[in-house]
Amino acid sequence: MFDFLAKGGILVGPILLCSLVALAIFLERLIRFSQLKLSGDGLVETMTAHVARGEDDQACELARVSNTPMGRVLLQGMDIREGDLDTLETVLTHAAEEEVRGFSRYLQPLATIGNITPLLGLLGTVIGMIKAFMVIQQMGGKVNASVLAGGIWEAMLTTALGLSVALPTMVAYSYLIGRVNTFEARLQDGAVQLIKALTGRKANTATNQHA
């Protein structure tokens, strides 16, 4: 196999390196996501129940000890629970975006690998074709079909290799992005539930005061 790949030229090495990096990124993110406890066991529901009853200290402590992305987002919201609605929404949105950036770590390099490996393969093919036609010129055009075919398949080897790396890399990238989008949607849903609980409590307090 090594001898076979070596015939592809100098760009086989960079393509294989890209494949190893892509595999490492995919496995690292896969393990990270599998270990991730986004919201714990009913964290949002329990916290909003505490908030509705005015038990803010219990809600904050629950978010703090959960040590989850959801808990960190909701805790930042609780820190400014007495602020206006716009400020609360801004803080929660920013907190969720910070967590999403952590989820998305290394995904951009993965996408870059998926985009550049076909180009590396194409470049390798072009270089190989140039070399093949240089040989033909040096031989005065007296080249049989087998010699020409051998030069062409060796040149096209890098394109096939580049595509073989790019296709699974883009599939892996799409899968991981889908997981990140799911996490983001759940964080946003938790933030919305907290906002509803806080605004609902304020509305009830205002109604009681007027009564």
The pLDDT of residue 150 is 65
Residue 87 domain-assigned (yes or no): yes
Highest mean pLDDT among 21-25, 52-56, 121-125, 142-146: 21-25
Residue 209 domain-assigned (yes or no): no
Residues 69-107 have pLDDT tens digits of: 999 999 999 988 887 888 889 999 999 999 999 999 899
Q: How far apart are CA 111 and CA 121, in angstroms?
A: 16
Residue 137 domain-assigned (yes or no): yes
Of 155, 159, 172, nearest to 117 by C-alpha is 159
Confidence band for 144, pLDDT divided at 50, 70 and 90:
low
The pLDDT of residue 53 is 87
Q: How many domains does the chain have?
A: 1
For the cut 70, the answer to whether the pLDDT of residue 8 exceeds it is no
Domain holding 29, by residue range, is 2-204
3-state secondary structure the chain: CHHHHHCCCCCHHHHHHHHHHHHHHHHHHHHHHHHCCCCCCCHHHHHHHHHHCCCHHHHHHHHHHHCCHHHHHHHHHHHCCCCCHHHHHHHHHHHHHHHHHHHCCCHHHHHHHHHHHHHHHHHHHHHHHHHHHHHHHHCCCCCCHHHHHHHHHHHHHHHHHHHHHHHHHHHHHHHHHHHHHHHHHHHHHHHHHHHHHHHHHHHHHHHHHHC
Structure tokens at 61: 């402590």
For the cut 70, the answer to whether the pLDDT of residue 178 exceeds it is yes
For the cut 70, the answer to whether the pLDDT of residue 1 exceeds it is no
Residue 211 domain-assigned (yes or no): no
Residue 210 domain-assigned (yes or no): no
The pLDDT of residue 191 is 92
pTM for the whole structure: 0.82
